[in-house]
Amino acid sequence: MSYFDAASSVALHPVARQALLASLDEGWADPARLYREGRRARMLLDAAREAAAEGVGCRADELVFTSSGTRAVHAGIAGALAGRHRIGRHLIVSAVEHSSVLHAADTHEAGGGSVTQVGVDRRGRVAPESYAAALRPDTALACLQSANHEVGTEQPVAEVAALCRESGVPLLVDAAQSLGWGPVGGDWSLLTASAHKWGGPSGVGLLVVRKGVRFAAQGPADERESGRAAGFENLPAIVAAAASLRAVRAEAEQEALRLRELTERIRQRVPRMVPDVEVVGDPERRLPGIVTFSCLYVDGETLLHELDRAGFSVSSGSSCTSSTLTPSHVLKAMGVLSEGNVRVSLPAGTAAEDVERFLEVLPGAVAGVREKLGAPAPAATVRQDVLVVDALGKRCPIPVIELAKVIGDVPVGALVRVLSDDTAARLDIPAWCDMREQEYVGEEPADRGTAYLVRRLS
């Protein structure tokens, strides 16, 4: 079985396993106590903090350990907003942030704060000037991920941090996806990360708050971790997290070069081997191991099952894999195709032979899924020189499949009106038009669902 979902989590690094087992014997006592066992535990905790701080590029007394990366994000955002509440209650986030950031923003807004969501281009990248335009006198905090978890696009953190610094606004960086590859550059103010993303144990997060940043920890007071992370420290896991961060960093430069070659192989060959595929994300400014593509006329969940049966564990941002049938917020913000989406994220040590086998299996898997979904015949009628496709009650990717089947039945310049009650159609039909060089005219209300208008150009 080839595990290609490193962006979600990676297996425990051998160094982490060794450190974890050793710490179970030496780090079980309370590091806040002054007796021998407590002092020994304290020494382990201090050493782990020093090692993690070295990996981040911050002072040891600026870093605390939390119970997860999500907890670090929530604590960091809440604490920074509370510390600057006299400045205002305005929060800035990008449209492609991790759900933990967006959920924190929703909570802030529900509590009476205001949120500005900065958009991205089709490669998933924010423009620094968009952040500059969003800054206001009452802005308390801005958030920007270092790299995207779904498509691998790296963000211009240093440029945005400089603009925020000029306005006196702290920038919180979610570095969960990138920290294992190297420190985050720029004059950022707060940073969060998650150990299981780089080969440490799950249940360990990092929260860094630079000196001079106003910060007021929320919740009941606790003497642990500078009052910013309540509860008894999971010392064995913390030691393992810090040890594995140092270990993966020692291998990062060489491994990044190797994985970039493998992901570039996928980026280049998939569109040649599989028709009607869109590779998404920035082709150059991206993380080493992530490549994402979307396949027209494919049910994402079915495709993932086919690949799983063939021995490949991959992920997806497709609306077809969601129980709510809601498109990935990242793909939606980018304005790219969501149906049949596949995210391949290669862990360190991935063999080139496994990638080659994936490229051999993929075309057949996609063709098989398309054949299964091609059976339904489109229900089409002509009304006032407009071809109407009734796709009501049919889910991604059926509305697009039915549109593709009938577009050739109308003359050049004529319209096709697709009726759909699937929210994914609002994203996928315009994306299909862009890929097939047809004109997406827009949408209009219908008796049921929404009517999407497409003009045939060729």
Shortest CA distance to 339 belongs to which of 416, 449, 422? 422
Please state, in angstroms and rounded to a whole number, the distance separating the CA atoms of residues 173 and 158.
10
C-beta contacts of 53-58 below 8 A and 24+ residues apart: 53/208, 54/246, 55/179, 55/183, 55/242, 55/245, 55/246, 55/249, 56/179, 56/183, 56/184, 56/191, 56/193, 56/206, 56/208, 57/183, 57/184, 58/191, 58/208, 58/210
The CA-atom distances, in angstroms, between 90 and each of 18, 143, 376 are 45, 11, 49
Asked if residues 441 and 420 have their Cβ atoms less than 8 Å apart, the reply is: no
Asked if residue 14 has a cis previous peptide bond (ω within 30° of 0), the answer is: no
Q: What residues are paired with 277 via a beta bridge?
A: 295
Please state, in angstroms and rounded to a whole number, the distance separating the CA atoms of residues 239 and 226.
18
Amino acid present at 313? S
Asked if residues 230 and 220 have their Cβ atoms less than 8 Å apart, the reply is: yes
Shortest CA distance to 210 belongs to which of 188, 242, 179? 188
For 203-225, the three-class secondary structure string (H helix, E strand, C coil) is CCEEEEECCCCCCCCCCCCCCHH
Instruction: State whether residue 39 is helix, strand or coil.
Output: helix
Cβ neighbours for 308, distance < 8 A, ≥ 6 positions apart:
none
> What is the residue-wise DSSP string for 332-382?
HHHT---TTEEEEEPPTT--HHHHHHHHHHHHHHHHHHHHHHT-SPP-EEE
| Edge-to-edge strand list for the sheet holding 290-295 | 277-280, 290-295, 341-345
Catalytically annotated residues: 320
Kindly report the number of other CB atoms within 10 A of residue 152's CB atom.
Answer: 26
Instruction: State whether residue 290 is helix, strand or coil.
Output: strand
Please state, in angstroms and rounded to a whole number, the distance separating the CA atoms of residues 73 and 329.
18
- Which pair of tokens denotes residue 73? 């994000």
